[in-house]
């Protein structure tokens, strides 16, 4: 399990970023000397540039041929998971603050993790090529799907289509463009790109921690946090536990739909049950910069809670899935 949960340093970084936001909010809020209005945008560009450099798109062909598995993962990532999140917010009703409801729905809309879904699939003896395809494909599809649905839902349908188009165009500059540039750099120097994987991970994690620091600092300075109180954290934790419990259980028992091959079932489970923090945080930062920047620090709380929990749950299930695959192979 220790080899799988490699985000301990990152999780400590997240905790430090949150504590710093409460201790020194002025520096990271809008207008502060760290200038998050610009530094956050630069950081988002760098994150997706590095992701573009590291995406092994040339390996996608083998995984793309497993149509049933791919449909299963896409259906869970972009339809069933967000549907469960939305239904949960309806059932919990007025007990949840509006920002927490938005955070849970945004979490449900996100694609699968970029790296941990592949690592977990490999550790459990799953179909790695299918896992690689779905991590890349869902994240690429999420560039359009997540902002479009989020803008429509969170603006209550009041956002004019012209303004929505302008926001999506801005998002393409900071998300799609650096991904394309990263792929071009990988095509030119693929041998060199693989050597930067570890430092690229450190840089991306540091930028994500900074974005979270700036988001929470801004919510503190703007008064959004003080209005909501500490019950926000309790609401988010309860919502995340319920959402993860319901969705993970449903994915576990429905994974057999992809076919009798246990290796494919394993890939389907990890790709469908994981949600990306690496793509989710910068995407949320761009979305709420257009909607209401003061809400970002609260909206991100469910995703911050979800990230370490999904790694623990997934790591606990690795040995069970591996033993199942070995028993079927006998």
User: Which residue ranges make up each domain of the chain?
Assistant: 8-323
Q: Are 50 and 203 in contact (CB under 8 A)?
A: yes
Would you write out the chain's pLDDT as a tens digit for each of its 330 residues? 444 444 467 788 888 888 998 888 888 888 888 888 888 888 888 888 888 887 766 666 666 677 899 999 999 999 999 999 999 999 998 888 888 999 999 999 999 987 788 889 999 889 888 888 888 889 888 888 888 888 888 876 666 566 667 777 777 777 788 888 888 888 887 677 667 778 888 888 899 899 998 988 888 887 777 666 678 888 999 999 999 999 999 999 999 999 888 899 999 999 999 999 988 998 888 888 777 888 888 899 999 999 989 988 988 898 888 776 554 544
Q: Which CATH number fits domain 8-323: 1.10.3470.10, 3.40.50.970, 1.20.1530.20, 3.50.50.60?
A: 1.20.1530.20
CA distance 102 to 287: 12
Report pLDDT for 61: 64
Q: Which burial class, exposed, middle or buried, applies to 53 when counting CB atoms under 10 A from its CB (0-12, 13-18, 19+)?
A: buried
Report the pLDDT value the prediction gives residue 327, as an integer from 0 to 100. Answer: 47
Task: Enter the pTM of the model.
Answer: 0.86
């Amino acid at each position: 399990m220790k080899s799988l949960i490699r985000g301990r340093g990152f999780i400590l970084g997240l905790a430090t970023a949150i504590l710093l936001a409460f201790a020194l909010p002025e520096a990271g809020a809008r207008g502060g000397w760290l200038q998050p209005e610009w530094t956050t945008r630069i950081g988002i560009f760098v994150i997706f540039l590095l992701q573009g450099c590291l995406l092994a798109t040339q390996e996608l062909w083998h995984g793309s041929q497993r149509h049933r598995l791919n449909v299963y993962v896409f259906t869970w990532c972009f339809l069933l998971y967000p549907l469960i999140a939305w239904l949960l917010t309806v059932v919990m009703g007025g007990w949840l603050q509006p920002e927490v409801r938005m955070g849970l729905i945004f979490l449900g809309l996100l694609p699968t993790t970029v790296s941990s879904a592949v690592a977990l699939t490999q550790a459990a003896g799953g179909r790695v090529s299918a896992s690689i395809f779905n991590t890349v494909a869902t994240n690429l599809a999420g560039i359009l799907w997540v902002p479009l649905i989020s803008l429509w839902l969170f603006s209550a349908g009041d956002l004019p289509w012209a303004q929505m188009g302008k926001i999506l165009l801005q998002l393409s500059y900071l998300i799609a463009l650096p991904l394309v540039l990263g792929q071009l750099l990988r095509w030119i120097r693929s041998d060199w790109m693989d050597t930067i994987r570890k430092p690229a991970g450190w840089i991306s994690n540091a930028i994500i921690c900074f974005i979270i620091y700036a988001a929470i600092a801004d919510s503190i300075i703007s008064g959004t946090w003080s209005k909501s109180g500490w019950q926000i954290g309790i609401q988010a934790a309860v919502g995340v536990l319920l959402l993860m419990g319901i969705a993970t259980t449903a994915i576990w028992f429905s994974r057999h739909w992809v076919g009798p091959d246990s290796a494919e079932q394993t890939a389907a489970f990890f790709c469908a049950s994981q949600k990306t923090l690496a793509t989710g945080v910068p995407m949320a930062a761009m979305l709420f910069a257009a909607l209401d920047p003061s809400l970002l620090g609260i909206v991100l709380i469910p995703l911050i809670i979800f990230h370490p929990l999904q790694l623990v749950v997934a790591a606990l299930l690795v040995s069970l899935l591996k033993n199942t695959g070995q028993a079927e192979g006998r």
